[in-house]
């Protein structure tokens, strides 16, 4: 059912949140646009202007690695300045109230953690761009170290322990989905009584399968997104409004 207007949507959502004991939010790019993080997939977004570098190419080509890191450094002012929006803060409030065991996210911006969720309760399906990791041994690196090393040598650094390439801790195109995160997300989806899909167009599989999984396990499904999604038909409530406006009333509750 599509909410007639923002006010009735917020009211119905409030009733559903109050009635639920375990809420699992699933968030996409739309929750972070208020924080100034662009939606890479949107028309005119970064990925339509700049072809993403697939994982195989990153591994095989030093030039691709240099290019990937140059792009990431160019984005640093945007990511470094980003602060949680009303959507992030509302979910952090519900987490503190004990209603949310963890958040599942397609985002790589670290904003759920900054809003107050412990990292172990943020399930990142596409990884995290705010630090780097060796693709061989998994050793973690600060971006500042990568940048300094790049500036000193003129090329993307290898791991100090095993010499394999160091990459942002994100999941690139063609890279395997993180198995542990996928498993935890599936478990969360199947053990909640309210599933909130927020700011995702719900088209990227396998991540987009989680709302259906929750629904099949008996949860109520709410979809909050500016645009229609492919799964609106099966939702108990669809709120087609701005995420900050919709979740703002739940900040601090
Ligand atoms: Zn290594």
Q: In whole angstroms, what is the distance from residue 247 CA to residue 187 CA? A: 25
- The 8-class DSSP code of residue 178 comes to -
**What per-residue confidence (pLDDT) applies to 42?**
59
pLDDT at 134: 98
Residue 116 contacts by C-beta under 8 Å, 6 or more apart in sequence? 92, 95, 96
Q: Which residues contact 155 (CB under 8 A, 6 or more apart)?
A: 62, 65, 66
pLDDT at 206: 81
Among 67, 64, 53, CA closest to 174:
53
Burial (0-12, 13-18, 19+ Cβ within 10 Å), 224: buried
| More confident call, 41 vs 32 | 32
pLDDT at residue number 229: 94
pLDDT greater than 80 at residue 222: yes
Measured in angstroms, how far is the CA atom of residue 112 from the centroid of ligand 1?
28
Classify the C-alpha dihedral 250-123-134-59 as positive or negative.
negative
83 and 76 Cβ atoms separated by less than 8 Å? no
* Residue 184 Cα to ligand 1 middle (Å): 26
CA of 136 to the centre of ligand 1 (A): 5
Longest dimension (CA), the chain: 58
> Hey, CA dihedral for 116, 119, 123, 125, is it positive or negative?
positive
Distance 167 CA to ligand 1 centre (A): 11
Q: Residue 48: which pLDDT band, with cuts at 50, 70 and 90?
A: low
- pLDDT tens, residue by residue, 72-122: 999 999 999 999 999 999 999 999 999 999 999 999 999 999 999 999 999
Task: Tell me the pLDDT of the chain averaged across its residues.
Answer: 94
Residue 142 Cα to ligand 1 midpoint, Å, equals 14
Could you tell me the two tokens for 209? 């399968």
If pLDDT is split at 50, 70 and 90, which confidence band does 47 have? low
User: DSSP H helical segments within 197-248, as ranges?
Assistant: 210-216, 243-247
Residues assigned a catalytic role: 126
> Residue 99 gets which letter from DSSP?
-
What's the pLDDT at 204? 83
- What pLDDT score was predicted for residue 224? 98
Neighbours of 108 (CB within 10 A): 22
Q: What is the predicted pLDDT for the residue at 172?
A: 93
What token pair was written down for 19? 């009635």
Beta carbons within 10 angstroms of residue 126's beta carbon: 19
| Residue 44, pLDDT above cutoff 60 | no
Q: pLDDT band at residue 174, thresholds of 50, 70 and 90?
A: very high
CA 133 to centroid of ligand 1, rounded, Å: 8
Write down the pLDDT at residue 115.
Answer: 98
Predicted confidence at residue 96, as pLDDT, reads 97
Residue pLDDT, tens place only, 120-167: 999 999 999 999 999 999 999 999 999 999 999 999 999 999 999 999
Ligand 1 mean position, distance from CA 141 (Å): 10
Ion ligand 1: residues, Cβ under 5 Å: 134, 136-137, 139, 159, 161-162, 164
Give the pLDDT mean for 170-176.
93
* Predicted local distance difference test score (pLDDT) of residue 205: 82
At 33, which helix (H) or strand (E)?
none
């Amino acid at each position: 059912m599509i909410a007639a207007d923002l006010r009735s949507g917020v009211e119905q959502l409030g009733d559903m949140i109050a009635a639920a004991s375990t809420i699992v939010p699933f968030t996409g790019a739309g929750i972070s646009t208020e924080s100034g993080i662009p939606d890479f997939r949107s028309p005119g977004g970064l990925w339509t202007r700049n072809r993403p570098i697939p994982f195989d190419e990153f591994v095989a080509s030093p030039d691709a690695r240099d290019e990937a890191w140059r792009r990431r450094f160019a984005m640093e002012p945007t990511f470094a300045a980003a602060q949680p929006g009303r959507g992030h803060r509302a979910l952090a409030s519900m987490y503190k109230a004990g209603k949310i065991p963890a958040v599942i996210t397609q985002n790589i911006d670290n904003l759920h953690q900054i809003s107050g969720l412990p990292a172990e309760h943020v399930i990142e399906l596409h990884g995290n761009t705010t630090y780097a990791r060796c693709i061989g041994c998994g050793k973690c690196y600060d971006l500042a170290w990568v940048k300094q090393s790049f500036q000193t040598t003129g090329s993307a650094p290898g791991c100090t322990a095993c010499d394999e390439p160091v990459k942002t801790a994100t999941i690139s195109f063609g890279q395997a989905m993180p198995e542990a995160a996928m498993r935890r997300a599936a478990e969360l989806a199947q053990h909640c009584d309210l599933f909130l899909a927020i700011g995702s167009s719900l088209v990227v599989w396998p991540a987009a399968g989680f709302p259906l999984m929750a629904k099949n396990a008996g949860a109520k499904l709410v979809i909050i997104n500016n645009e229609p999604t492919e799964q609106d038909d099966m939702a108990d409530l669809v709120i087609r409004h701005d995420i900050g406006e919709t979740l703002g009333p739940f900040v601090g509750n």
